[in-house]
Each structure stands twice: as structure tokens, then as C-alpha cells.
Amino acid sequence: MKCLDGKATGVCVAIGVLCSATLSVAQIPANPRVEIVYVQPSNRAFQPIYDRLKKRQVLEEVQRFLAPLKLPRKLTVKLDQCGAQQVQHVSQGPVTICYELVDQIEKVGAKIDPAARPGVIAGAFIQAVLYQVAQGVLDILDVPVWGRVGDASDRFAALVMLKFGEELAARTIYGTSVFFDASQHTWTGSAFADATSPEAQRYYNYLCIAYGGSPITFNYLVTTSGGKGPILPIERSRRCPGEYRQVLKAFDMRIMPYVDPDLVIKVRATPWLLPTDTK
């Protein structure tokens, strides 16, 4: 399924991830506890992003994707201009996907092989949405979180990425890893005090959960080729099955009681990202 405007631009594809299966997605009810807001950016440079995302009804798709989740109170998901690529989530506050981050994802995408570009942009965009939503869900459900919340949200997001079929898992994890790998951020001194982990660390965290949960699909992460070592060093990869089981256990114990089993089957059966979306 093509994006509505027929363009294969980054945003179009990213949106396509969510709008591609519009007909099927339309059969899934929007979560009534999920409120969505498109905030008009004051920076005119972000206006095209705002226009495209709103036209493609990206947040409406998020509302449907979250349909199985039984939330005790309202969760607001908004697209906004933040002044930074991401803002720290405040308890009981909205989750925000920043136009600055979407812009950065597209800029990273513009530098890579055109053939891989749509998938990378789509994967990175989905990661951004899932990461933010995870923070909101952990907060609203008052989930006890051991470890840093940002890392917990990354593990949450990686786990969800693996639950919608091999192909979608491969695309989203790949897009996420390329985006983090492209970061030019240098970490020294007090930069390590940041509540968000370094991009390189997050890169390995996503890959580890992916390999741990789906070792066949992601076998390429632990194989050597051309004299180069594996992408995931063996010291880490041998721990990944355990890391995956750990986050899966936490998810099953703390999140699944709030998930409608019938609706989750419908959501999982929906083709959220078709191969044609990234062409």
C-alpha cells in the first residue's frame, strides 16, 4: 500500500508505517483513554512535518494501536515543538514526540542509502513513539521500575517491536539501530549525568533485546564476516537471552494484566507495516 500522496519521502514512509493498513486498522477502535494533540509549531521549519503527520493521522493510528491497553486514566500523546529532540516525561503529564526529533530522523535518513532510507526512517520513528508511550504507560500504571526509566522504556519499546512478526521486528530494530549509530553526540565528563543513556548504549540495548528474543531473525548480529567481529560483542550477546526473558517477565507481570487479550490479537494480526510502504 502506498502512502496517500504517493511520495516516498521520509515522513511519508514513517507515517506509512502506521497508515499503510488503514482499512484494517480502521476496524480497531481507538483507545478512549488515549487523547491525541497535534500542536502547531512556532518554528516554520517544522510546519511541513506538522502538516504531513496530521494529514496522515499518525496519532490516530497510535490511538488504535494502543486499543488493547486498559488505562486507569487518560494518556495524552502529542506532537509538539520542544526546543530539543526530546523532553523529560513528567509524572501524570503528556508524552511528547518532538518535531525536532522527527526532523533529525529525516536528516539521518537523508544521508543513508536511498534503498534503505524508508525503512530506517520508519523504524526510528516507531521507536520514538514507542519509547515515549512506554514512559507514559509505566507512569500511569504505577509500575515499579528498577533501573533507569529511560532504559526501561527502551526495553519496553524493543519488546513491543518483536511482537508483530519477524519482518516488522527486523525493520524497526534496524531503523532504530541505524539512527542511534548515526549520532554524532560525544559523551564526556558531566554529560554522563544525563538521565538519558548515550546513543551508543541504547543502540546495543535494542540489539540485545532483539537478539535475545529472536535469535534466528537477528543471527546476523552475532556472526562474523569479512574479518570483522560480530556487531554484538560476545560478552554481551551471551547475556541477551536472559535480558530478554527479564523484560518479558516484567511486562507479563506488570503490563499484561491491563491488556485486553481479544483486542491484542486483532492488533497483532493487523499488518502495521507492509513491504510496499517502504518502497
Partner 1 sequence: MRVVPAAFRQPQSDAVRSTVRVVTLALVALVAAWCGPVAAQAPAELVSGTVSYAYLPPKSPKYVPMVERLKAFRILEQLSEFLAPLRLPHKLTLTTKECGFVNAYYAPSRWVIEVCYEFVETLERIGPKQGETSEFTYEEVVVGALVGVLLHEGGHSVFDMLDVPVFGREEDAADEMSTFIAMQFSKDVALSIVKGYAYITKSWFGVSVPIYSDEHGTGLQRYYNTLCIAYGGAPDLFKDFVAKSDLPKERAANCPNEYQQIKRAFEKTILPFVDQEKLKKVQATPWLQLTPTQAAALKQQQQAQQQTFTFSVCNMSKVSNVSVALMGKSPNDPNTWRVVGWFEIPDSGCNYIGSFYGDKIYWYAEGSNKAVWRAAETDRTGSKQCIDHAKAFEEVGGTKCSAGQVQVNFRLRTISPADVGVTLRLN
- Scan residues 79-118 and list those touching partner 1 (CB under 8 A): 88, 91
Sign, Cα dihedral of 29, 99, 11, 187: negative
| Among 147, 224, 265, 275, contact with partner 1 (rule: CB under 8 A) | 147
The length of the chain is: 279
Distance separating alpha carbons of residues 218 and 239, to the nearest angstrom: 15
Piece in contact with partner 1 (CB under 8 A), picked from 20-28, 60-68, 107-115, 249-257: 249-257
For position 4 contacting partner 1 by CB under 8 A, the verdict is no
The full DSSP string for 111-123 is TS-TTTHHHHHHH
- Scan residues 41-80 and list those touching partner 1 (CB under 8 A): none
Sign, Cα dihedral of 106, 110, 114, 115: negative
Looking at the Cβ atoms of 147 and 275, the one nearer to partner 1 is: 147
Q: What is the CA radius of gyration of the chain?
A: 18
* Number of residues binding to partner 1, judged by CB under 8 A: 42
Question: C-beta of 72: minimal distance to partner 1 in Å?
Answer: 16
Looking at the Cβ atoms of 51 and 181, the one nearer to partner 1 is: 181
| Among 190, 225, 228, 262, contact with partner 1 (rule: CB under 8 A) | 190
Partners of residue 77 on adjacent β-strands: 36, 95
For position 31 contacting partner 1 by CB under 8 A, the verdict is no
Looking at the Cβ atoms of 146 and 216, the one nearer to partner 1 is: 146
16 sits in which H/E element? helix 10-19
The full DSSP string for 56-117 is TTHHHHHHHHTTTB--SS-EEEEEE--SSS-----TTS-EEEEHHHHHHHHHHHHTS-TTTH
C-alpha count within 13 angstroms, C-beta hemisphere, residue 200: 6
Sign, Cα dihedral of 72, 78, 83, 86: positive
Binding mask of the shown chain, residues 257 to 276, with x at each position contacting partner 1 by CB under 8 A: --------------------
Piece in contact with partner 1 (CB under 8 A), picked from 57-65, 77-85, 111-119, 242-250: 242-250
| Among 27, 92, 201, 276, contact with partner 1 (rule: CB under 8 A) | 201
Binding mask of the shown chain, residues 212 to 241, with x at each position contacting partner 1 by CB under 8 A: --------------------xx-xx--x--
Looking at the Cβ atoms of 243 and 277, the one nearer to partner 1 is: 243
From residue 81, give the alpha-carbon distance in Å to each of 16, 84, 117. 22, 8, 24
Residues 173 and 207: beta-carbon distance below 8 Å: yes
For position 32 contacting partner 1 by CB under 8 A, the verdict is no
| Among 26, 253, 256, 269, contact with partner 1 (rule: CB under 8 A) | 253
Contact residues for partner 1 (CB under 8 A)? 88, 91, 138, 142-149, 151-152, 155-156, 187, 189-190, 192-195, 197-198, 200-201, 203-205, 232-233, 235-236, 239, 243, 246-247, 249-251, 253-254
